[in-house]
Amino acid sequence: MALSRPSLQQTSPNRVLVVDDQEVVCEVLSALLRREGFLVEAVHDGAAALARLDAMNAAQTPFDVAVVDKNLPGMSGLRVLEAGKRRHPLIEFVMITGYASFESAVEALSLGAYDYLVKPFIDIKEVAAKLHRAAEKATLARRSEALARDLKAKNAELEVAIAELKRTRAQAIRAARLSALVDAASRIGHELKHPVQSLRARLDAAASSGGLGPHLAAGLGGDLDRLELAVAEFLDFARPRRPEPTPHDLAALATQICRELEPTLSARGVTLTLALEPIERVSIDPRQLGQVVRNLVINASEALAAGGEITVRTRMVEQRVTLAVDDDGPGLSASADDLFTPFFTSKPTGTGLGLAICKKIIEEHRGQIALENRVPRGARALIELPPA
């Protein structure tokens, strides 16, 4: 959205209202001020003066200066000054006194007058100079008020623009996530199609030949694992479940997951070892933590295309329960931040949701998860949880 342009600066001549009951004073002053470039009007009493000040203000062509005789009949000049200043604080008042009276000048100034003139006007230049100064002050005050108004309006516009931007950004992020999910759905769809077809074909072959050889069984097992994981990841990411934590032995849970995965891994030439130090019980959702351990072990095994070793370790570190999944594969190919980003994958058939889901689950359990390279080779996935 475009912000409005600042208002134009005032360049028109200054307006002066002369208020004096003596016609001759009005005429002399008006002529002098017109010569000085002012737009001048004259009235002869206080009520007329206030009415004129009000009217011009309402018409948005306000007077800059009012030159008011202190000794007006009826409403006195000082009352005009008081009421005028109250209603129109930006108008400057210059009072006319009939004689050089220090007291009356002080009184006028204390009521808000900018300056005063002494009748008769002997020094015309001084009268003109005082009126110019008063007009300049009024102009400056009006400009700074306009600036403040502009600034306030700009701030309000800016706030609206920022709110709009935030909304748009949030919408864009949501839209991007959604489209990534749709993308993942279609990829998973494709991913499911081929393994299912291949499973069907192999099952048919096995059925017609009267049995399943060990190699075939391992292939089928791997395909099924992959399918189950991809479907579970997609569903979990699209509709995350709130954890239902109860105190558990994380080492026992890790042992159970490793037992499940072991046959498939050993068929691929991967050795899975448990190195479990005693740890305190943790308050966890066993299904979710099981999923984390499974994801991390599968990631490690996928890094070991040509076979290798995975070690799952548990131990207490500074009163926190830790579980590490170590492998001796090639190590990490991107920054840990990237690897935890949803849909980041380096695998042709990966969905890139595994680690993002792990992170979400671990954080919901008030824990932390990290990935790092090991020396001399391999990677470590480390989770850390507070004891129950």
Type of residue at 36: E
The Cα–Cα gap between 268 and 307 comes to 6
The option from Mg ion, ligand ATP, none interacting with 95 (CB < 5 to 8 A, set by class) reads: none
CB of 355 to ligand ATP, least distance (A): 3
Nearer CB in complex with ligand ATP: 139/295: 295
Judged by beta carbon distances under 5 to 8 A according to partner kind, the member of Mg ion, ligand ATP, none in contact with residue 233 is ligand ATP
Q: Which partner in Mg ion, ligand ATP, none is near 344 (CB below 5 to 8 A by kind)?
A: ligand ATP
Residue list 288-347, contact with Mg ion (CB under 5 A): 299
Quote the least distance from Cβ 312 to Mg ion, whole Å.
16
Backbone dihedral region for residue 155 (phi beyond 0: left; psi -120 to 50: alpha; all else: beta): alpha
In the complex with ligand ATP, the residue whose CB is nearer, 126 or 338, is 338
- For Mg ion, the closer of residues 78 and 304 by Cβ is 304
Minimal distance, residue 310 CB to ligand ATP, in Å: 9
Least distance (Å) between residue 355 CB and Mg ion: 6
Read off the tokens for 81: 């000054």
Whichever of 33 and 300 has its CB closer to ligand ATP, that residue is 300
In the list Mg ion, ligand ATP, none, the entry touching 352 (Cβ below 5 to 8 angstroms by class) is ligand ATP
Residues that bind ligand ATP (CB under 6 A): 233, 295, 299-300, 303, 327, 329, 332-333, 339, 344-347, 350-356, 379
Kindly state the smallest distance separating residue 298's Cβ from Mg ion, in Å. 6
DSSP 8-state symbol, 367: -
Asked whether position 352 contacts Mg ion by CB under 5 A, the answer is no
290 binds, among ligand ATP, Mg ion, none (CB under 5 to 8 A by kind): none
Smallest distance, Å, CB 339 to Mg ion? Answer: 9
Q: Degrees (nearest 5) of the Cα angle 267, 196, 358?
A: 65
At its nearest, how many Å lie between ligand ATP and the CB of residue 334? 6
Q: Which of residues 284 and 332 has its CB atom nearest to ligand ATP in the complex?
A: 332
Q: Quick one: which of 95, 115, 131, 74 has its CA closest to 19?
A: 95
Query: Is the CB of 18 or the CB of 339 nearer to Mg ion?
Result: 339
Binding characters for Mg ion, 252-291, by CB under 5 A (x = yes): ----------------------------------------
DSSP strands (E only) in the chain: 15-19, 39-43, 65-69, 92-97, 115-118, 246-248, 270-276, 282-284, 308-317, 320-327, 368-373, 379-385
Query: Which CA distances in Å does 121 have to 19, 30, 128?
Result: 15, 13, 10
Coil, helix or strand at residue 351? coil
- Burial class (CB within 10 angstroms; exposed 0-12, middle 13-18, buried 19+) of 123: exposed
The residue among 155 and 333 lying less far from ligand ATP, judged by its C-beta, is 333
Q: In the 8-state DSSP scheme, what is residue 72?
A: -
239: CB partners within 8 A, 6+ apart: none
Q: Which of 251, 250, 232, 248 is nearest to 240 (CA)?
A: 232
